[in-house]
Amino acid sequence: MEFNAVLEQESGPENLHEGFLERKLEELDGLDAGQGAPYWLTLARITELTLLCAGRYVDSGELRAAGDLLVNPRLIVIHVRGVPEPLVKDRRGSMADQLRHLVPTADGVIGWLKRNTWVEIRKEPLLPHLYRRLEQSGVLHASYLESVDRRMKRIANVLSFLGSWHLPGECHPQERLRDTACREREFITSQLCRFDRENFVELGLEFRQFEKKGRLPSRFLSKWQSTEVLYTDRERSLERPTSLRAHRQQ
């Protein structure tokens, strides 16, 4: 109960970043409170905040930060032949650039790396990690897992779309939209994630009800299924064409 109360207090936009989310996950796993329904509802709340964070990153043009949460592993180590300890890979840097100083002058960098190194992912990106844990738990409702998966795909689509739009640096899409024709502006705006905190809030309400009653019809946990519709058509409508060309063809 205390963890969830603090999570709500600290989860404002100014705190939503990868370090905060990873720290909260570590704190939850360190509570040693078992893995009953309250644990899974709380883990789902952290997942919701991570989706919200990634969605806001990509909507504001911070593509690298969004990519870190979705596709860029948190920790990769490089094993180098003849080096006793593995090296930590620069997260956003090139392995060739990082290890160039180890390559004999006469050898090509890429060929030498292929023959003498291998990589090991020790921490996958936060969103796939959270989704895998929820999926493998066997207690989350399929509808909720589908919703998480849809939103992860949505983030990937927007990353791809804005990447093809060639935004300069970490430029906010709204800056580019000022110089865009009205019809195209409406289409581009419709491609953004625009996630909200609705599921995070509802998971918190359900958590508190579960703590009071010990058992209840759940919209999120498969063991206590509700007959209510879990997700609206609004979420499903997020899957739209991801290019201006596709839009024009329609």
Q: Which residue has the higher pLDDT, 113 or 191?
A: 113
Residue in this structure with the two tokens 């006469």, named with its chain if needed: 106
**Residues 203-246: tens digit of each pLDDT:** 999 999 888 877 677 889 986 544 333 344 344 444 433 333 34
Cα–Cα distances (Å) from 89 to 27, 85, 98, in that order, read: 26, 13, 8
Domain map (residue ranges) of the chain: 2-71+126-249, 75-123
Residue pair 65/57 in contact by the 8 Å Cβ criterion: yes
Residue 82 contacts by C-beta under 8 Å, 6 or more apart in sequence?
116
- What is the average per-residue pLDDT within 116-121? 95
Instruction: Tell me what pLDDT residue 241 has.
Output: 37
For 84-112, write each residue's pLDDT tens digit: 999 999 999 999 999 988 888 767 888 99
CB atoms within 10 A of CB 8: 14
136 vs 182, more confident = 136
- Residues 139-145 have a mean pLDDT of 94
Residue 93, judged by CB atoms within 10 A of its CB (0-12, 13-18, 19+), counts as exposed
- Tell me how far apart the alpha carbons of residues 24 and 10 are, in angstroms, rounded to a whole number: 10
What's the mean pLDDT when you consider all of the chain?
83
Predicted pLDDT at 236: 42
Q: Report pTM.
A: 0.81
| 70: amino acid identity, one letter | L
190 CB contacts (<8 Å, ≥6 apart)?
240
Each residue's pLDDT tens digit, 69-89? 999 999 999 999 999 999 999
**Does the CA dihedral 109-115-116-120 come out positive or negative?**
positive
Say what the alpha-carbon torsion angle 133, 137, 138, 141 is, to the nearest 10 degrees. -60
d(CA 52, CA 40): 18
**How far is Cα 188 from Cα 192, in angstroms, rounded to an integer?**
7
